[in-house]
Structure 1
Amino acid sequence: MGMGSPISAVLANLYREHLESEHFANIIPSSVTWLCYVDDVLVITPKHFDVRNLQARLNAVEPAIQFTLEEESNDELPFLDVLIHKVDHNLRFQVYRKPTNKNDLTHFYSSQDTKTKRGIIIGFFLRAYRICSPEFLDEECTYIHQTFTELHCPSFFIKDCKKRALQIINSPRTNTTPNKVIILPNSQVALNVSKVLSQANTRVAIASSTSIKDLTRTKSNHHEPVNAGVYTIPCGGCDKIYVGETARNLDTRLNEHIYAFRNDNLNNACVQHRNSTNHLMKFRDARLVIKETNFRRRKCLESALIAVSNRIKQNKGSFTISEVLARILLKTVNPAIT
């Protein structure tokens, strides 16, 4: 399975749950605490437990799935973005960052809207309040303030985000969701409108501003063909006509028919008619019956005009879509009508 496939993570989790319930459950003793999140596992064992032996037995289940082991050091163990401290038989928690962390975050003068910048800082403070034990909370808040100050965020802006994070933490959780969502382009007007609509239980999603991709993208010079639609070609030796449709100019399509004539292309209906009757098509008298650029409408109109081809032979002018549809309806009611 490809890593980018949407179903890969779902199937991987299902298979992991199958291994845990059908195989690992018989290996992991009841004295061991097994906490798994995706492909990371936190294992808490008794003091003199043989962890190496447990690792070897787990790795023997499926050769393609091999566990590595990282034991606590100095009574500390990182797990995901949490650094776990063991203090006097109790656990304390702190936000963990890898040594390679560079704090490459959104700059205050970037093109992102203010709501996005505010949301990032609020998210950092929320993580601090939800993870950190009291003795580590002030240190983490100071780190957040310093980090975003270096990204040129004003001090009042950071403090306001911290205040908002505290309100979220202390407010009771509700399951109410907005009834409507409106997407608006990034602008100050959109921000002002979002405050008003929020009172009406309507959320405003702010779309990103112009990106570098939009600025460097070459604009297409493609134009809709002026002669796309359904056309007819009369036969020079009988009263039959050929009805076709094209998404390009009529002259381009006629040149393809003429080329097929010269090369005796048996896949071409006009060539088949010539070979069976020895008649030539009157390409100079070909005309566009209805102009239509939409593919599905064009195909439907082509079939419709074939059904009323007798009238096309008698009328040298153009048709409107309404005339064609009305003629089909009459022919459906009374097949004798031509």
Structure 2
Amino acid sequence: MADIFMDDFENKNIVKNNHILYYYRYVDDIIICWTGTDRQLDVFVEKLNNLHPKIKFKLEIEQNNSLNFLDVTITRVNNRHHFGIYRKPTYTDITIPASSCHPWQHKLAAFHSYVHRLMSIPLTRDQYNKELNIIYRMAISNGYDPNIVNRIINKKHLVLVRKELYGIPLEKPKKFKASLTYFGPVSERIAKTLRTHDINVAFRTNNSLKNICNGKDKLEKQHKSGVYKLQCSECNATYIGQTGRNFDTRYKEHISAVRNDRPQRSHFAKHLLDTGHKLADNHMYDILHTCNKGLRLCVLEQLEIKKAWSKCAETTAGHMGSAGTKGTLEYVVQMCYVVECG
């Protein structure tokens, strides 16, 4: 929506100005080539800043015929643009070290990005060689063979040549995709086997600074959502349910339904009120699974219900005797008062 608004704002107020030779915007960064005077430029910017209370423009003019825009330095030489790579003063050449236990694709991702920028921006020969040497130094300082940079460049050149010769390649059949946690060479061997069956594998890593530096306090289990179990204090009746809120809140609702004689609010309360059974002073719920609300939560609940019924059937198998089928069913219902969560 913000982009649509800005497109309309630009078309009505900016691009039609006769002093703008060109105008480009990337998100909230804008570059224009202005052919008017400095005074006319100041008036134009002041007018723009008065059009909308939430849209304000900050003006930065070239210094020494040079201006930084995004990751490019644009220099005006004889009314022509020369391009160079711009790096912020805080830039460092640190990337994933070669010795780190990361997938090889993750290690090379930064180099692929730098090479792509190197080959996409129309640099002069001097600027190209300068940037290439920076990428070489980055590879060496992080423990890589600098030849990996050459291999990436050659691979990208090959892709460009093929595209020029054959145009856009035909769409290949879609393959299955799988994501594996990376544990080192064993993960590579598994991925190699899967690829022989036309399954594309992408690696993920579980260890990250986010896991170490997470400033949020971990929630106690009772403050999470999931599947839980309630047990009658005076018989084997069991209630299994799910909640998308925290366990404590849902449990209090069950207890409130018992104390306020509202069986329609809770199947567990209905059992206690129908049978006259009492809650023990130390009565509490059991957490079976913690899970966010959704399909997984429903599946886990159904699995626990099925397990409870199976346990009932096994337990009652030795109690049938001469009681007959009806007696057995009554015993099962008493023993496993299992219902879906309301």
In the superposition, the TM-score normalised over structure 2's length comes to: 0.61
Whose radius of gyration is greater, 1 or 2? Answer: 1
Q: Deviations over 1:111-144 (max 9, x none)?
A: 3211111222122111111114232111100011
Structure 2 vs 1, CA of residues 104 and 13 (structure 1 numbering), >3 Å: closer, same or farther? farther
| 1:96-122, Cα deviation, whole Å (9 max, x unpaired) | 111222234222223321111122212
Aligned length: 272
CA apart distance, 1:79: 0.8
Q: Does 1:174 align with 2:172?
A: no
- TM-superposed CA distance for 1:179, in Å, is 2.5
Partner of 2:145: 154
Residue 232 of structure 1 and its aligned partner are, at CA, apart by: 11
SS at match of 2:331: coil
Q: 1:89 to 1:297 in 2, by over 3 A?
A: same
Change in CA separation of 1:316 and 1:158 when aligned onto 2, cut-off 3 Å:
same
Q: How does 1:10-159 map to 2 (within 5 A)?
A: 11-25=1-15, 28-29=17-18, 31-46=20-35, 48=37, 50-135=40-125, 136-159=127-150
Query: Larger relative contact order (C-alpha < 8 A, sep ≥ 6)?
Result: 2
Taking the TM superposition and a 5 Å limit, the aligned residue runs for 1:217-236 are 228=229
Partner of residue 295 from structure 1, selected from 263, 278, 301: 301
List per-residue Cα deviations over 1:43-69 (Å, max 9, x = no partner): 012264622121111111112221111
Q: Do the aligned partners of residues 189 and 175 (structure 1) sit closer, same or farther apart at CA in structure 2, a change above 3 Å counting?
A: farther
The answer to whether the Cα contact below 8 Å between 1:13 and 1:38 also exists between their aligned partners in 2 is: yes
CA distance in 2, matches of 1:282, 1:198: 60
- Residues in 2 aligned to 1:203 and 1:195: alpha-carbon distance in whole angstroms: 9
Please state whether the residue corresponding to 1:128 is helix, strand or coil.
helix
Contact 1:229 1:298 in 2 (8 A): no
Deviation string for 1:11-44 (max 9, x for gaps)?
A: 3222212312344456x33753211111111101
Distance 1:120 1:296 in 2: 46
C-alpha distance in structure 1 between counterparts of 2:108 and 2:197, whole Å: 22
**Residue aligned with 2:68, SS:** strand
- Contact (CA 8 Å) 2:177, 2:200: kept in 1 or not? yes
Give, in angstroms, the shift of residue 283 of structure 1: 6.0
Quickly say closer, same or farther: Cα 1:113–1:209, change in 2 above 3 A: farther
Aligned CA RMSD, in angstroms, stands at 4.9
Which of 179, 183, 200 in structure 1 is aligned with 2:179?
183
Alpha-carbon distance between aligned partners in 2 of 1:145 and 1:115, rounded to the nearest angstrom: 18
Aligned counterpart for 1:265 among listed residues 259, 283, 298: 259
Give the TM-score normalised by structure 1. Answer: 0.62
Report if aligned partners of 2:21, 2:33 keep a CA contact under 8 Å in 1. yes
1:65 and 1:220 map into 2 onto residues whose CA distance is 41
Taking the aligned partners of 2:95 and 2:234, their CA distance within structure 1 comes to 65
The residue identity in structure 1 corresponding to 2:178 is I
Instruction: Tell me what 1:333 maps to.
Output: none
- Structure 1 gap segments, 5+ residues each: 1-10, 235-242, 249-255, 285-292, 303-310, 325-338
